[in-house]
Amino acid sequence: MDIIDVRISNLTLNDSGRYSCFWQEPSGLRIYHEFMAEVTDGDLTPAITAAAGKDFRLSCSFSTSGNKKRFCRNTCSKKNMLVETTGDRGRRGRYRVEYSEHADDLSYVDVTIKAVSQSDSGVYQCYLDTSSKTFRLDVLAPPTSSGLLILTTLACVVLITMTTILIICCRRHDDERKHLCETNMPKKKEKAERGQTHFYGTVVNLYEMCPPTEDTYQDLPPQQELKQN
């Protein structure tokens, strides 16, 4: 049986659908075949985020050792080659490659980009001989100065508001305490009517709440005389 290969290059999601192919046998028999093609999103490249202004470092692991190490952006064409070396270390500009072999039978190609910016976002490849690993780098923008200013302003407003409320509460408490003392403190003329013993007891009960005044405590009789009465 003859086999006919049908290929579609550079597939997109819009290529999903029903397809038909025809061919004719030498005997004149025409053969018809219909099939469905469903295209799914093939972007399985792992995405890695990095903060703008920081150094980015990633380890690419390989199950075999190798000699030639490459670090590329997009495809590893000559114009996209960032670093290429046959040694354990290679560097060009902000890009660096380090090679190491570990006891777990894995080899590692560590790639570094110094002080990344948003323009460094994109797809990268690290190679060990013919084996490769692909990843996508997404560089996050640093917080804007206006955003920091807004946060600082809000923090100051909250602090000032809390301080003001605390001061008002303290003053209100002092006013209530002062009013209580003025209302309950006996007058000089009440001493003769209520008696010295009752007057002394009233002062003792209010002593913890009300500050002493000269008029009240100068007229208190000696404690010894109160006991005799």
pLDDT digits (tens, 9 = 90+) for 146-166: 566 777 888 888 889 888 888
Tally of domains within the chain: 3
Q: How far apart are CA 115 and CA 53, in angstroms?
A: 5
Tell me, yes or no, whether 150 lies in a domain: yes
Task: Say yes or no: 130 and 202 in one domain.
Answer: no
C-beta contacts of 182-186 below 8 A and 24+ residues apart: 184/210, 185/210, 185/213, 185/216, 186/216
For residue 91, the domain's CATH number is 2.60.40.10
Tell me, yes or no, whether 100 lies in a domain: yes
Tell me, yes or no, whether 13 lies in a domain: no
Q: How far apart are CA 177 and CA 152, in angstroms?
A: 38
pLDDT score of 18: 87
Strand, coil or helix: 88: coil
39 is written with which tokens?
């295209």
Contact of 181 with 213, CB cutoff 8 Å: no
pLDDT score of 145: 59
Task: Give every residue of the chain whose pLDDT is below 50, as ranges.
Answer: 188-192, 194-195, 197-207, 216-218, 225-229
Task: Say yes or no: 115 and 154 in one domain.
Answer: no
**How much of the chain exceeds pLDDT 70, in percent?**
69
Task: Say yes or no: 85 and 154 in one domain.
Answer: no
Tell me, yes or no, whether 21 lies in a domain: no
Tell me, yes or no, whether 22 lies in a domain: no
Task: Say yes or no: 129 and 205 in one domain.
Answer: no
> Which residue segment(s) compose the domain that 74 sits in?
47-140
Q: Vertex 102, ends 76 and 57: CA angle to 5°?
A: 45
Task: Say yes or no: 73 and 129 in one domain.
Answer: yes
Q: How far apart are CA 217 and CA 229, in angstroms?
A: 19
